Structure 1
């Protein structure tokens, strides 16, 4: 029996330096859709995740000869914008101590707070072994480049043991998600709520029809008729409302998604007398729907809830999806049946003092998150035992 060739790490400045077929051969159901080559390439080619915007691609690829056996999207970052795991207090503490925090290396999908495999591994390979090889190699790279640390954002729970064995400290987060508990209809879902909350939700569900608004989802070939410019204008209508809002994505990103990534895109649109008044641009994996970009040209009561929550839930039930992740934040989701679920990140700071301080902070934060889960669950409005 021949001895396998050793693996070699190559760090690439663009996803386009990896053949699409080779990269996508590593993507499984726990990684799609955001780890697919076309999505990552579109972020770069559209000018969204590029050095001029603080994202310097440094994609990690592990090769055995000419065969790609593992990979992870990774970026050097000049700041912490668009990551959705908030570490600016760590950067401030480092600066006060006279330490350089940027650049840092992040293994993540830009602007995408969605859990999924951060390290892709080829079928037939020893997954934990390849993950460990990649993390060990990337630590050597980070030290050689004198980076402040390595951060793995939104990995799966299954990836945590290897990360911890490699010295990373795990951080807990919380998102509000809808899980399909075998519902056959939307009424099955509503039946879980106590009567007052159920009546409230039904009033909100009736609002679009009373306002003369039709809500529908377009997917697949039907997306050919969607105006990418309108999608972009709805996206900026939301981010421009807030002082902290930033236009992370360019118009070309949405055009590329509609042209090249239709098998993963869904467009929820709300029209009144044929006029587009609101919409949500979502993505779908094999079993999970991801809510992403919402906007409106007209304000109507409960329109946001219907476009971004109720309609996708109803569609998810009809299609037998396992889960709907509507995005980051939003405690209003709790009272509409979206339950708190843990998310994860992993952090390794290369300065010993800063690393100790961060680990101490994470221990306190972890206790607070775990202690808050029962109260958050109680706010869903589900009947006891439902």
Structure 2
């Protein structure tokens, strides 16, 4: 440990892309150097938007041996783990809740957050060391909390052993048990819901619309700009609650540098490059994530087709093992998505605040496990429920 030294980095540009990528790997695009860098460089994730990059790196000379992507946050937007009750408790105790330190891929509720280490390093020891450095940073800057969201289950035990408190929330996920076709997927539903899905898809086709996937190099750059327009339009429909986080510059950069991870589902009358509605998904070899959508037409069931059914059909055809459709939406349950636990890990610097929340968490987590089990017991399709992690008790 003596030969290591820590640095706090205020932008991804301060960190070497190749070394970062060697630690993180390719399986989760949302933590790749290009993705995180473009969020910052595009003006999407920057201090004036309430996100101050504050990444922790451990170095051995000029070699990056461990990283933790972190952000100082002046609000709780773009996290989708709703800690407003924590903020109210802090206010009741006369404590300042913001700013707080958050570890996640910004505005992406995607499971997989962790500290990353070079091969051969002691992951448990480095986790403990980095958490000590984070605690010191929080004390020095008078921060009440550090929060790691959508944690990688493989890293979770190391952080818990070093004193992090676990909080269970839930999210939706589609699993592919080995379907060979969309008909196989339909066969998993009861007869009533199978008819409903067929009727929903037929309504879109009867309106004269086709949905075409455009993947990677097939995507014309201007289509990604069009996708930003759909995204902005959809956000504007919610007014002040629209949650428009990403700039057009991020979408432009995605078209140039991240296109290999993108799948666009274009709803169109003839030419797929002239869509009337579109969704953007992000892919890896085994996973698909639904991110954004928008439409120029108001058509019942179009959202389900563009955001769920067409991506599921494409995922089956390409051997994708899981599809995360994004945060929110109980309507996902009736369309093949299980409720699954998602764990966030927390550290609080004030002893009273820490003690109160650690006393509350076991009961809250037990209730969430019961809710997840109840939801999955009433699904209109056959599926093996995901195991519930008993460690976050």
TM-score range normalised by the length of the shorter chain: over 0.9
**Residue in structure 2 matched with residue 237 of structure 1 by the alignment:** 233
Mapped partners of 2:213, 2:80: distance in 1: 27
Aligned to 2:355: 356
Task: Tell me the distance in 2 between the aligned counterparts of 1:384 and 1:133.
Answer: 41
Distance, in Å, in 1 between the alignment partners of 2:339 and 2:382 is 16
Normalised to the residue count of structure 2, the TM-score between the two structures is 0.93
Q: Which residue of 2 aligns with 1:260?
A: 257
Q: Deviations over 1:258-304 (max 9, x none)?
A: 11111111111111244421111111122100000111111112110
Q: Is the 8 A contact 1:336 1:380 kept in 2?
A: no
Secondary structure in structure 2 of the residue aligned to 1:369: helix
The answer for the alignment partner of 1:302 in structure 2 is 301
Q: Which residue of 241, 245, 250 maps to 1:248?
A: 245
Distance in 2, matches of 1:29 and 1:362, equals 34
- Correspondence for 2:59 among 63, 79, 83: 63
Q: Cα–Cα, structure 1 residues 192 and 227, in superposed 2: closer, same or farther, change >3 Å?
A: closer
Q: Using the alignment, how far apart are the partners of 2:248 and 2:376 within structure 1? A: 38
Tell me the CA shift for residue 384 of structure 1.
Answer: 8.5
In 1, Cα distance between the equivalents of 2:35 and 2:247?
14
Residue 125 of structure 1: CA displacement? Answer: 2.2
**Which residue of 169, 178, 182 corresponds with 1:182?**
178
Contact 2:221 2:255 in 1 (8 A): no
What is the CA-CA distance between 1:5 and the residue it aligns to? Answer: 5.9
Deviation at 1:374, TM superposition (A): 2.2
State how far apart, in whole Å, the 2-side matches of 1:353 and 1:241 are: 42
Structure 1: give runs of 5+ residues left out of the alignment. Answer: none
Matches within 5 A, 1:28-39: 28=25, 32-39=28-35
Looking at structure 1, the residues matched to 384 and 74 of structure 2 have their Cα atoms a distance apart, in angstroms, of 48
RMSD of aligned alpha carbons: 1.7
Preserved CA contact (<8 Å) 2:113 2:149: no
- Deviation digits for residues 39-94 of structure 1 (CA, Å, limit 9, x no counterpart): 00000000010001011110011112211111011011111111111111211221
Partner SS for 2:276: strand
Pairing 1:1-386 to 2, within 5 Å after superposition: 6-28=3-25, 32-242=28-238, 243-274=240-271, 275-383=274-382
What SS does structure 2 have at the residue aligned with 1:177?
A: strand
Query: CA, structure 1 residues 287+149, in 2 after alignment: closer, same or farther (shift >3 Å)?
Result: same
Rounded to whole Å, the distance in 1 between the matches of 2:87 and 2:311 is 38
Distance 1:225 1:142, change over 3 A: closer
Distance 1:223 1:54, change over 3 A: same
How far residue 113 of structure 1 moved from its aligned partner, in angstroms, is: 0.3
Give the match's secondary structure for 2:275: strand
Alpha-carbon distance in 1 for matches of 2:72, 2:251:
24
Contact preservation (8 Å) 1:115, 1:343: yes
Q: How many residues in Structure 1 have an aligned counterpart in Structure 2?
A: 382
Which deviates further from its counterpart, 160-169 or 34-43? 160-169
Q: For 2:220 and 2:57, how far apart are their aligned partners in 1? A: 34
Deviation at 1:333, TM superposition (A): 0.7
For the residue of structure 1 that corresponds to 2:344, the secondary structure is strand
Mark the runs of 5 or more structure 2 residues left unpaired by the alignment: 386-393
For 2:19 and 2:347, locate their aligned partners in 1 and report how far apart those are by CA, in whole Å: 29
Q: Structure 2 CA distance, aligned partners of 1:216 and 1:380?
A: 29
CA distance in 2, matches of 1:271, 1:179: 28
Q: Report the alpha carbon displacement of residue 107 of structure 1 after superposing the two structures with TM.
A: 0.9
Contact 1:283-1:291 at 8 Å conserved across structures: yes
CA contact under 8 A between 1:5 and 1:64: conserved in structure 2?
Answer: no
Secondary structure of the corresponding residue to residue 266 of structure 1: strand
Per-residue deviation, 1:364: 2.5
Mapped to 1, the partners of 2:253 and 2:64 lie a distance apart of: 26
- Cα deviation for residue 136 of structure 1 reads 2.0
